[in-house]
Amino acid sequence: MTPDVRPHEKLDRAVIFLGPPGAGKGTQAKELARRFSVPHLSTGDMLREHVAQGTSLGQRAQPIMARGDLVSDSIVLRMVADRIERPDCARGFVFDGFPRTVAQAQWLGALLRQHGFKPPLVIHMVIDPGLLLRRITGRRMCKVGGEIYNIYERPPKVAGHCDNDGGELEQRADDREEIVGPRLAAYEKQTAPLAAYYRRLGRLRDIDASKSVDEVAKLIVEVVSAARQP
């Protein structure tokens, strides 16, 4: 992957990954967060953790996620507000899967201003829709550390186990082929309009997400570094 960050490099802002299911947001957001030593905030991962732990929030979210719809703002916004107040977010953070509606984006803009952050940088993952089904149905995630694999594109060294910690790999409940259509429809209707919203604000940067993982990572680092120039 990309070379390690130099010690003086700081992110100092929120970076948002925007793109359809399977575009590679999680793969790239984790890598960028690691590079700048800031938290990777995936609302999907947070919700899946609540579901796995059987919390009341998880019980409300589970049927909604299982059919590929968006979870309500009342659930998601509280979760995000609590998370970015933690001290580890003070030097910036990387959002993956949030915001997902214009209302969420407006709410986030106000929250970032309130916490004294610069306006966010939005990485728009642009991809040929024909690639998405294979990426989604081929995805497997480590039960222990959440590392993302793909049985077609990025297989682990030992089938069914994570290269990092040996954890068992599992398929997400919403990655079944019959749920992919509803998820893509929810994206087109509720989330795709965010691209125009952030483009108008001058915050959007288009990235060709059809390329290899390493090529996409390199493009993202270039865009983020350029945005950090004075």
Residues at the interface with ligand AP5 (CB under 6 A):
19, 21-27, 43-44, 47, 64-65, 68-71, 76, 97-98, 100, 104, 135-136, 138-139, 148-150, 153-154, 174, 183, 212-213, 216
Rounded distance, CA 212 to CA 111, Å? 34
The residue (of 13 and 25) whose beta carbon lies closer to ligand AP5 is 25
Q: How far apart are CA 188 and CA 19, in angstroms?
A: 10
Residue of 13, 30, 135, 139 with catalytic role = 139
DSSP letter assigned to residue 154: B
Nearest residue (CB) to ligand AP5, 22 versus 109: 22
User: Is 211 among the residues known to form the active site?
Assistant: no
Exactly one of 30, 35, 100, 135 is catalytic; name it.
Answer: 100
Q: Among this protein's residues, is 13 annotated catalytic?
A: no
Question: Is the CB of 9 or the CB of 213 nearer to ligand AP5?
Answer: 213
Q: CB 187 → ligand AP5: shortest distance, Å? A: 7
Task: Please identify which of the residues 172, 199, 203, 211 carries the catalytic annotation.
Answer: 172
Distance (Å, rounded) from C-alpha 228 to C-alpha 95?
17
Burial of 5 from C-beta contacts in 10 A (0-12 / 13-18 / 19+): middle
Distance between CA 111 and CA 36 in Å, rounded?
A: 22
The reply to whether 183 belongs to the active site is yes
Which run of H or of E encompasses 179?
Answer: helix 177-186
Report, as residue numbers or ranges, the catalytic residues. Answer: 25, 100, 139, 172, 183
